[in-house]
Amino acid sequence: MKHLWLALLGTALLGAEPDWNAVETRAVEFLQKYIRIRSINPPADTREAAALFRAELEKNGLAPKVYQTTPEGKTNLIVRLPGRDRTKKPLLLLNHFDVVPVDAKAWSVDPFGGIIKDGFIWGRGAMDMKGTGTIHLFAMLTLQQMGIVPARDIVMLVTPDEETSGPDGVEAMIREHWPEIEAEYVLDEGGFGSRDLFSPGKLVFGVAVGEKQVLWLRMRAKGIAAHGSQPIAENANMILLDAIGKALALPEGGRTNEAVEAMRRNLRGAIAQNKFTSAIQKNTISLTTLTAGVGSPVKVNVIPSSSEATLDCRLLPGVNAEEFVSEMKARVNDPRVTIERIVDPNDPGISRMESPLFSALRTAILKYHPEAVVTPILIPFGTDSVKLRKKGVTAYGFTPMVLDAATVATMHSDEERIPVAEFRKGIRIFH
């Protein structure tokens, strides 16, 4: 490793590009090793992942700090590359160690094997977001070893619990270590390039300027317990199913979003039709759990007196959550059914769609993909960036890879993977 970085530094002094093949090969090997660490959330014990990053940074002359925020091992890592103008707030590279659980039986490969097959790196976290985190890391390492002093400080923060909304990760760092991470700009996950997801047959790089609000609800229905041989109207399950149907019946039309409208203008109206683009254009509700029954194992011949469900609601920026829930209760209109919040949304709005950083992203993308359309987008899922937008930071989601819709769909699903060639090219774009 030492000889590799000495070679990189030598080419930098000659005014040449780094030895990208060597950098990319090393980054692929690092990502494979990173995927093999089972930093599953829960429990989000990220000590081993933090140690991997810390060792790589320290042996290349950088001085990371590690903050363990819980006895169970939730661990944050922060590192700073000093810039020329220390009066400017830094650029923050934000990524997370933790990954969601897997159903290993549904995978054709070991989900924690980090194997390369059919031109892809496979494994939980390859896309969300160990691949992007590795790109962040190698941008820091390459700048450091080439002796490049950026215009402002560059800080990287890696958190342990993004997949559970960040109470011991980004929230703890904001609360206890804000001076170390206070930034003008943030680059996080979210946007990426695609030839089919955003617009049919057109290469589009979406840069996420905002995300939908997360509102989780629990519905409970009360009925009367009875013998299953004698159907009754007060069956809590039937009451709940009827209520769910009414809750899901969202009214058509309503609020649009300026990021989506900017995307529509940039694509000249040609937005592809799929679950991703549908979700960013409206409020959505997904039924995620149903729980009912008496006994363990549950008795088939007993009608339970209560039943419950959870709803994952995602609201467009600017939508009032109180009004949304009130309207849902009015549609359900049943005193036997209660609706309560599990998680309240954050709504910081969207980041500005034009800035020096957005222009820099556009320039870097077009250098390697001159035919691309670069546009602001909204994303349907949540990231740690929402907490920083609440603090007034301009945050963009940007994964510098071209991914087809089928690959994007593996995030949080089975067979998660990213193309090796796009990962390697992404290192150059991000640098």
Tell me the mean pLDDT in the region 277-300: 96
pLDDT at 154: 98
Residue 12 — pLDDT band, cuts 50, 70, 90? very low
Q: Is the pLDDT of residue 8 over 90?
A: no
Residue 14 — pLDDT band, cuts 50, 70, 90? very low
pLDDT at 252: 85
pLDDT at 7: 46
Is 217 within 8 Å of 311 (Cβ atoms)?
yes
Tell me the mean pLDDT in the region 196-218: 96
Strands 154-159 vs 75-81: parallel, antiparallel or unpaired: antiparallel
- The overall average pLDDT reported for the chain is 95
pLDDT at 13: 43
Is 338 within 8 Å of 167 (Cβ atoms)?
no
Tell me the mean pLDDT in the region 399-414: 97
Residue 254 — pLDDT band, cuts 50, 70, 90? confident
Bridge partners, 207 (sequence order): 376
The candidate with the shortest Cα–Cα distance to 311, out of 281, 338, 348, 274, is 338
Distance CA 9, CA 161 (A): 35
Query: Residues 365-380: pLDDT tens digits?
Result: 999 999 999 999 999 9
Tell me the mean pLDDT in the region 72-88: 97
Is 192 within 8 Å of 206 (Cβ atoms)?
yes
Packing angle, helices 47-58 and 131-145, rounded to 10: 20
Summarize the chain as % helix, strand, coil (round to 5). Answer: 35, 25, 40
Q: In the structure encoding, which two tokens stand for residue 384, read together?
A: 């740690």
SS3 track for 143-209: HHHCCCCCCCCEEEEEECCHHHCCCCCHHHHHHHHHHHHCCCEEEECCCCEECCCCCCCCCEEEEEE
DSSP string, 349-418: ----S--HHHHHHHHHHHHH-TT-EEEEEEESS--THHHHHTTT-EEEE---SB--HHHHTTTTSTT-EE
Q: Which of 22-31, 249-258, 275-284, 400-409 has the lowest mean pLDDT?
A: 249-258
Query: Residues 126-185: pLDDT tens digits?
Result: 999 999 999 999 999 999 999 999 999 999 999 999 999 999 999 999 999 999 999 999
Strands 337-343 vs 213-222: parallel, antiparallel or unpaired: antiparallel
Q: Is the pLDDT of residue 351 over 70?
A: yes
Tell me the mean pLDDT in the region 320-337: 97
pLDDT at 9: 46
Q: What is the reported pTM?
A: 0.92
Is 105 within 8 Å of 74 (Cβ atoms)?
no
- Higher model confidence: residue 431 or residue 2? 431
pLDDT at 16: 67
Percent of the chain exceeding pLDDT 90 equals 93
Query: Residues 39-76: pLDDT tens digits?
Result: 999 999 999 999 999 999 999 999 999 999 999 999 99
Residue 15 — pLDDT band, cuts 50, 70, 90? low
